[in-house]
């Protein structure tokens, strides 16, 4: 291929480039991204390109846990990028600022031992109907706005910047870079050359994620309301206890529930009545003292305990006396 891509004063062409394997990130064209590099091979690759045209292929590893991936452990489609800045840190690692310029495919690794190197070819985007792309782009921007509103991890300013992008390819890549999707899904977006398909994929991912985020938002709101209600009831209950303590309710410091419990224990209740009284007392202790239901339970227990349990009156079994009472 002889197609040229120009960025930052440097022409990107097919050829041999150092390769920087990436962990847990996919860098798209048009993106400016900071990277922290600690592996010796990767640092040597960066030092090599800084002495030349500063261009390097950024290719994501298939397994982020592998420290030194071989050619089969690196995706064959990556992003040719320019190293804008390199800073060596005190701990021996390197911080670099890179700018993606073009999609590229690895033809073959050279087998170089000091760092990864490969022959690559730039990938062209197919010609597509501009009116259809315009319609898709508008829908993508609208979905992206809704997505950012629900996803608090993305700055709202990003939406404003995305809405100003006139290059449909750049728009698709910008949105894709901000989506909270799996690495293999982002890699699939990078490997898709059709702008239309990339915009459609972005819409599909966003609409699915928006549905999930909306459910999460409803759940958070429901949990928050329940927590606020519980905290409010607890606060009122503690406040009432403090007021009762200040008023000195109960000469020996016993609260109302304790007094009721003592009355239940002393009363000669039937088995059924005692079980019922204890159940109501348990409910009362769990209620806010100021609630209407607590008042009903207290009145019920007072009435129950006021009945003459176990007390009997003597009845005269004298028919003449009974007749006299009836006649009077």
In the chain, what are the domains?
5-122 (2.30.130.40), 130-217 (1.20.58.1480), 256-306 (no CATH)
Specify whether the CB–CB gap between 111 and 100 falls below 8 A: no
Integer Cα distance of 298 and 159 in angstroms = 60
- The string of pLDDT tens digits covering residues 226-247 is 888 888 877 877 777 677 666 6
Q: What is the pLDDT of residue 246?
A: 66
Q: What is the pLDDT of residue 164?
A: 92
Integer Cα distance of 293 and 263 in angstroms = 21
Nearest to 202 by CA among 178, 184, 223: 178
Q: What is the pLDDT of residue 3?
A: 36
Residue 266, both tokens? 């002393």
Integer Cα distance of 263 and 273 in angstroms = 13
What three-state secondary structure class fits 88? strand
What three-state secondary structure class fits 115? coil
Q: What is the pLDDT of residue 6?
A: 37
Q: What is the pLDDT of residue 257?
A: 79
Burial of residue 80 (number of CB atoms within 10 Å: 0-12, 13-18, 19+): buried
Integer Cα distance of 231 and 304 in angstroms = 33
Q: What is the pLDDT of residue 278?
A: 87
Q: How many CB atoms lie within 10 A of CB 71?
A: 14
Residue ranges for the chain with pLDDT beneath 50: 1-9, 249-254
């Amino acid at each position: 291929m002889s197609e040229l891509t120009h960025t930052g004063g440097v022409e990107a062409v097919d050829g041999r480039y150092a390769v920087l394997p990436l962990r847990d990130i996919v860098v798209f064209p048009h993106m400016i991204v900071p990277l922290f590099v600690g592996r010796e091979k990767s640092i040597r690759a960066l030092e090599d390109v800084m002495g030349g045209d500063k261009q390097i292929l950024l290719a994501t590893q298939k397994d982020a846990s592998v420290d030194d991936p071989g050619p089969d452990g690196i995706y064959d489609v990556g992003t040719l990028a320019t190293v804008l800045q390199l800073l060596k840190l005190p701990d021996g690692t390197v911080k670099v600022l890179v700018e993606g310029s073009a999609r590229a495919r690895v033809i073959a690794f050279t087998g170089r031992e000091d760092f990864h190197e490969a022959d690559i070819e730039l990938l062209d985007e197919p010609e597509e109907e501009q009116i259809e792309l315009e319609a898709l782009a508008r829908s993508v921007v609208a979905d992206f706005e809704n997505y950012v509103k629900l996803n608090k991890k993305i700055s709202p300013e990003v939406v404003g910047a995305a809405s100003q992008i006139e290059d449909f390819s750049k728009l698709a890549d910008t949105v894709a870079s901000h989506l909270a999707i799996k690495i293999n899904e982002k890699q699939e977006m990078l490997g898709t050359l059709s702008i239309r398909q990339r915009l459609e994929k972005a819409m599909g991912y966003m609409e699915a994620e928006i549905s999930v985020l909306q459910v999460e938002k409803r759940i958070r709101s429901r949990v928050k309301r329940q927590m606020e209600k519980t905290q409010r009831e607890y606060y009122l209950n503690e406040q009432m206890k403090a007021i009762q303590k200040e008023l000195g309710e109960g000469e020996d410091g016993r609260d109302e529930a304790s007094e009721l419990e003592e009355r239940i224990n002393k009363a000669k209740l039937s088995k059924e009545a005692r079980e019922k009284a204890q159940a109501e007392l348990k409910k009362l202790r769990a209620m806010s003292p100021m609630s209407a239901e607590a008042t009903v339970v207290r009145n019920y227990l007072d009435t129950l305990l006021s009945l003459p349990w176990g007390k009997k009156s003597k009845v005269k079994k004298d028919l003449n006396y009974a007749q006299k009472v009836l006649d009077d």
